[in-house]
Amino acid sequence: MRLTVIGTGYLGAVHAACMADIGHDVLGVDTDSGKIAALAAGRAPFFEPGLPEILIRNTRAGRLRFTTSLQEAADFADVHFVCVGTPQRADSLAADLRHVEAVVDGLAPLLTRDSLIVGKSTVPVGTTRTLTRRVTSQVRPGVDAEVAWNPEFLREGFAVQDTLRPDRLVVGVTSPHADRTLRDVYEPMLRAGVAYVSTDPATAELVKVAANSFLATKISFINAMAEVCDASGADVVTLAEALGHDARIGRAFLSAGLGFGGGCLPKDIRAFLARAEELQVGEAVSFLHQVDQINHRQRRRTVDLARHLLGGEFAGRRVAVLGATFKPDSDDVRDSPALAVAAEIVAQGADIRVHDPEGIDNAQLVLPGPSYCTDVMEACRDADLVLHLTEWRQYRALDPVKLSQVVRAPRMIDARNALDPALWREAGWHVRALGRPVHV
């Protein structure tokens, strides 16, 4: 099939490459000509494991091309995936839909054949209905364009495998034709047994927002427990393990620490709060305010613990920050808890050195002040305190003995509860973590 993917960021570039990889002819579209030039040359414009390989394979095979022209997109295909950003609005908690609207307004008048516009971006419930009116009022006479929603659940760092082998596909459609078209698009996945939930657009839109709200709630729940552990001397890591054995609860998303960030969970729960208010059911989901607040409190608690370990003052102290991205295996620093902590510590007078395996370029744009190091040892040299803020695999493999030889004082906060504290203590480190007793 011929498909276009409009918006080739973290979601769209992966979607475009994966759709080509399962055999479709794909045209990726973006307004960012730099991104389009990189993609067209087979270069991923961001770090995502596995993406470079499928980009090269499919651009070389001629199944995957890129353009900045919506006209070319309208001419090329009858199925258009919309993958543009839906960030938080500057003036409220709500989602800013201007990019989605710009795509629809640009594309609809250019369509010359019956078409299916499939949204993949995360949007407030009711968006498909609004966009349908927008499209219908702008298409040429005789052209029928349907809007469907097919939310995306991929995780950065696992985006390629999540796209090729998703847990489920959810489509929100208003006609059997749209359902059939999307079944054809995803035929290889359906053949492999991937669950396919076909429903109305409102339910599909809500599945995504509800899933992210649930995941965010789970993280904030365990972080709230971590705070109770700190007050009572209990250990949140053992607590999470014991809770996780209960099949009704499950261990995933029960890792206490610095909390969630990134371009999705924080803005998605806020947009949900705003949309629920509009629908006059704000009270029903008001707990999400707490989820957001608990999440932010972990950043403050980490800064407070760091200041405490340094004797009450950051001024004149050197702090090594391990991790800048919002999660490992990504270069994404959007709403990164690690960078938020780093920024606060800088603001309070610390001299910090930041290491990250992939996120330094993006981090420098957001937080230009500190020194950035490509070598962990360099970042930790003469540090009075080391903060482990993003759980990259390579930090778990660090040798605490070697690291203790370069720091000024072997003090560590493992804000992700990802290191083995016994190992570090054996090497002479004073290790602290949120939700864990001092002696663990």
Check: CB of residue 216 under 8 Å from CB of residue 295.
yes
Residue 99 near ligand NAD by CB under 6 A? yes
Residue 121 near ligand NAD by CB under 6 A? yes
Residue whose C-beta lies closest to ligand NAD:
9
Burial of 148 from C-beta contacts in 10 A (0-12 / 13-18 / 19+): buried
The Cα–Cα gap between 387 and 322 comes to 6
Size of the site for ligand NAD (CB under 6 A): 26
Could you give the residue ranges of the DSSP H alpha helices within 157-200? 159-164, 176-185, 187-191
List 1, 22, 32, 129, residue binding ligand NAD (CB under 6 A):
32
Residue 269 near ligand NAD by CB under 6 A? no
Stretch that binds ligand NAD, among 10-18, 241-249, 351-359, 364-372 (CB under 6 A): 10-18
Annotated active-site residue in 18, 264, 373, 380: 264
Check: CB of residue 80 under 8 Å from CB of residue 3.
yes
Nearest of 383, 254, 260 to residue 325 by alpha carbon: 260
The Cα–Cα gap between 244 and 134 comes to 46
Angle at 429 between CA 426 and CA 431, to 5 degrees: 105
3-state secondary structure of 163: helix
Check: CB of residue 388 under 8 Å from CB of residue 322.
yes
List 3, 5, 8, 413, residue binding ligand NAD (CB under 6 A):
8
Nearest of 76, 133, 135 to residue 102 by alpha carbon: 135
Between 212 and 417, whose beta carbon lies closer to ligand NAD?
A: 212
Contact flags string 50-89 toward ligand NAD, x per CB under 6 A: ---------------------------------xxxx---
| Cβ at position 278, least distance to ligand NAD in Å | 18
Contact flags string 355-394 toward ligand NAD, x per CB under 6 A: ----------------------------------------
- Which residues are 172's β-sheet partners? 149, 199
State which amino acid sits at residue 393.
Answer: R
The Cα–Cα gap between 352 and 79 comes to 49
Whether 264 sits among the annotated catalytic residues: the reply is: yes
| Cβ at position 170, least distance to ligand NAD in Å | 12
Residues 150-189 that bind ligand NAD (CB under 6 A): 152, 154, 156
| Cβ at position 201, least distance to ligand NAD in Å | 15
Between 390 and 417, whose beta carbon lies closer to ligand NAD?
A: 390
Nearest of 99, 387, 393, 418 to residue 263 by alpha carbon: 99
Between 31 and 404, whose beta carbon lies closer to ligand NAD?
A: 31
Binding site for ligand NAD (CB under 6 A): 6-12, 29-32, 35, 83-86, 99, 102-103, 121-122, 152, 154, 156, 263-264
Residues with active-site annotation: 264
